[in-house]
Structure 1
Amino acid sequence: MAFHEVRFPDDISRGARGGPERRTQIVELASGDEERNASWANSRRRYDVAYGIRRADDLAAVVAFFEARNGRLHGFRFKDWADYKSCLPSAAPAATDQLIGTGDGSTEVFQLVKRYSSGAQSWTRTITKPVAGSVRIALAGTPNLSGWTVDTATGLVTFNTAPGVSVAVTAGFEFDVAVRFDTDLLDITLDVERLGSITSIPLVEIRR
Structure 2
Amino acid sequence: MPITAFSEERFPLRIAFGTSGGPERRTDIVRLSTGFETRNQRFARSVRRYDAGSGLKSLADLSLILDFFEAMRGRLTGFRFRDPLDNASSRFGNPVSALDQAIGTGDGETTSFSLSKTYGSGEGAYVRPIEKPVAGTVRVAVDGAEIAAGFAVDSLTGTLAFDAPPAVGAAITAGFQFDVPVRFDTDQLSINVAAFEAGDIPVIQLIEIRP
Q: TM-score, normalised by structure 1?
A: 0.95
| Shift, 1:86, TM fit | 0.3
CA contact (8 A) 2:183 2:209 kept: yes
- In structure 2, the residue matched to 1:90 is 93
Which residue in the other structure is 1:68 paired with?
A: 71
Give the aligned partner of residue 207 of structure 1.
Answer: 210
Q: 1:158 aligns with which of 147, 161, 173?
A: 161
- 1:157 offset after TM fit, Å? 0.5
Q: 1:52 aligns with which of 41, 46, 55?
A: 55
Aligned partners of 1:169, 1:101: CA distance in 2, in Å? 5
Bigger share in strand: 1
Tell me how far 1:154 sits from its aligned partner.
0.2
Q: Distance in 1 between matches of 2:104 and 2:48?
A: 25
Offset of residue 20 of structure 1: 0.4
Q: Which runs of 4+ in 1 moved over 6 A?
A: none
1:124 paired to 2:136: no
User: Is contact 1:59–1:196 with CA below 8 Å preserved after alignment?
Assistant: no
User: 1:119, CA displacement in angstroms?
Assistant: 6.8
Once residues 124 and 38 of structure 2 are traced to their aligned partners in structure 1, the CA distance between those partners, rounded to angstroms, is 20
Structure 2 partner of 1:113: 116
Q: 1:142 to 1:109 in 2, by over 3 A?
A: same
Return closer, same or farther for 1:121/1:107 CA change in 2, 3 Å cut-off: same
- Equivalent residue letter for 1:166: G
Contact conserved, 1:112 with 1:127, CA < 8 A, in 2? yes
Matching residue's letter, 1:173: F
| Structure 2 contact 196–202 (Cα < 8 Å) conserved | no
CA RMSD of aligned residues (A): 1.7
More displaced, 86-95 or 119-128? 119-128
**What is the CA–CA distance in structure 1 between the aligned matches of 2:200 and 2:121, rounded to whole Å?**
40
**What SS class does the counterpart of residue 96 from structure 1 fall into?**
coil
Classify 1:102/1:187 alpha carbon distance in 2 versus 1 (closer, same or farther; 3 Å): same
TM-score, normalised by the number of residues in structure 2: 0.94
Note closer, same or farther for the CA distance 1:193–1:9 as it changes in structure 2 (3 Å cut): closer
Matched, 1:187 2:190: yes
Preserved contact between residue 186 and residue 198 of structure 1 (Cα < 8 Å) = no
C-alpha deviation, 1:89, in angstroms: 1.1
Aligned-partner SS, 2:125: strand
Aligned residue pairs, count? 208
1:148 to 141, 146, 151: 151
Post-superposition offset of 1:35: 1.1
Deviation at 1:174, TM superposition (A): 0.3
Bigger mean CA offset, 107-116 vs 24-33? 24-33
Q: What CA distance in whole angstroms lies between the structure 1 residues aligned with 2:13 and 2:202?
A: 19
Shift of the alpha carbon at 1:198?
Answer: 4.8
Match 2:181 to one of 173, 178, 182: 178
Which residues of structure 2 form unaligned runs of 5+?
none
AA at the equivalent of 1:142: A
1:23 aligns with 2:23: no
Look up the SS of the partner of 1:191 in the other structure. Answer: helix
